[in-house]
């Protein structure tokens, strides 16, 4: 799964990287947690658009928005079959921007938080799905991160991992004209694996209220 990540980036660099007309508005985050806003990118058929969405998918048909607490991740292997995700795989795909994510490795001393980064990129995107929920005067735009079985590197830490889009496949994931859910699932599962690196951080990150540089400080330095 993917339950925490970081987003330490420069707005101008984000705008250039994702061909945005203006730098997006966001806060530096060292410990992004479910139910919080995350910076995402969609394609509207003409151009990329950046905006914040709440992390934790609330499908448009949900009676209660609390369902979002259980839907921070979607399994890529079955996303083309599940009612909550199939329609989104066809027409509501997004990039969820990050520069690292956390996972907790089981050790003899307990669960050790690890910060995981892409080796050759400071900024990357998770493959995400999004939806819009409305009830009376309330409206929410929410998202979820696709996950898959861990590769050899991640398997030493956890058996699942988020789907990280290689840079040259990001536009394909956003492509407004690709609308077959099964094809998009196969696309995600066939992506080449990014080279990752990881290091241990303190349990300071365990508390989602902690959102400072101490969260990403290596214990091995």
* Residue 221 confidence (pLDDT) above 80: no
Active-site residue (options: 17, 94, 103, 170): 103
- Catalytic pick among 2, 94, 143, 215: 2
**37-85 confidence digits (pLDDT tens):** 999 999 988 899 999 999 999 999 999 899 999 999 999 999 999 988 9
Question: Are the CB atoms for 71 and 174 separated by under 8 Å?
Answer: no
Q: How much of the chain exceeds pLDDT 70, in percent?
A: 100
Looking at residue 18, its pLDDT comes to 95
Position 4 scores a pLDDT of 97
Is position 2 annotated as part of the catalytic site?
yes
pLDDT at 150 (0 to 100): 96
202 pLDDT above the threshold of 80 = yes
pTM: 0.97
Question: Would residue 139 show up in a list of annotated catalytic residues for this protein?
Answer: no
Token pair 């910076």 is at which residue?
39
pLDDT at 32 (0 to 100)? 98
Q: Which domains does the chain have, with CATH numbers?
A: 5-216 (3.90.1680.10)
Contact 174, 184 (CB under 8 A): no
Interval 106-144: pLDDT, tens: 999 899 999 999 999 999 999 999 999 998 888 999 999
Q: Cα torsion at 185, 125, 46, 60 (round to 10°)? A: 60
pLDDT per residue over 5-42, tens digit each? 999 999 999 999 999 999 999 999 999 999 999 999 99
pLDDT for res 146: 98
DSSP state of 69: G
Indicate if the pLDDT at residue 1 is higher than 80.
Answer: no
Is the pLDDT reported for residue 92 higher than 90? yes
Q: What is the pLDDT of residue 50?
A: 97
Residues 41 and 49: beta-carbon distance below 8 Å = yes
Would you place residue 220 in the very low, low, confident or very high pLDDT band (cuts 50, 70, 90)?
Answer: confident
Tens of pLDDT, residue by residue over 134-182, are 988 889 999 999 999 999 999 999 999 999 999 999 999 999 888 899 9
How far apart are the C-alpha atoms of 77 and 202, rounded to whole Å? 33
157 vs 61, 117, 121, CA distance in Å?
36, 13, 21
Q: Give the residue among 140, 139, 129, 29 at the shortest CA–CA distance from 84.
A: 129
């Amino acid at each position: 799964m993917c339950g925490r990540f970081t987003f330490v980036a420069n707005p101008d660099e984000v705008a250039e990287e994702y061909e945005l007309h203006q730098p997006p508005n966001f806060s530096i985050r060292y410990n992004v947690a479910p139910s919080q806003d995350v910076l995402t990118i969609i394609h509207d058929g003409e151009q990329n658009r950046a905006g914040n969405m709440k992390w934790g998918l609330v499908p448009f048909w949900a009676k209660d928005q609390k369902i979002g607490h259980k839907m921070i991740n979607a399994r890529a292997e079955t996303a083309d079959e599940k009612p909550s995700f199939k329609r989104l795989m066809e027409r509501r795909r997004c990039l969820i921007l990050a520069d690292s994510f956390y996972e907790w490795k089981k050790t003899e001393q307990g669960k050790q938080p690890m910060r995981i980064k892409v080796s050759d990129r400071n900024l990357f995107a998770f493959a995400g799905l999004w939806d819009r929920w409305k009830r009376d005067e309330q409206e929410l735009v929410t998202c979820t991160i696709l996950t898959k079985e861990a590769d050899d590197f991640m398997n030493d830490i956890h058996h699942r991992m988020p789907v990280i889009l290689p840079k040259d496949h990001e536009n394909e994931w956003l492509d407004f004209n690709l609308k077959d859910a099964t094809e998009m699932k196969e696309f995600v599962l066939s992506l080449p694996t990014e080279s990752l690196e990881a290091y241990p951080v303190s349990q300071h990150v365990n508390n989602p209220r902690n959102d400072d540089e101490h969260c990403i400080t290596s214990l091995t330095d």
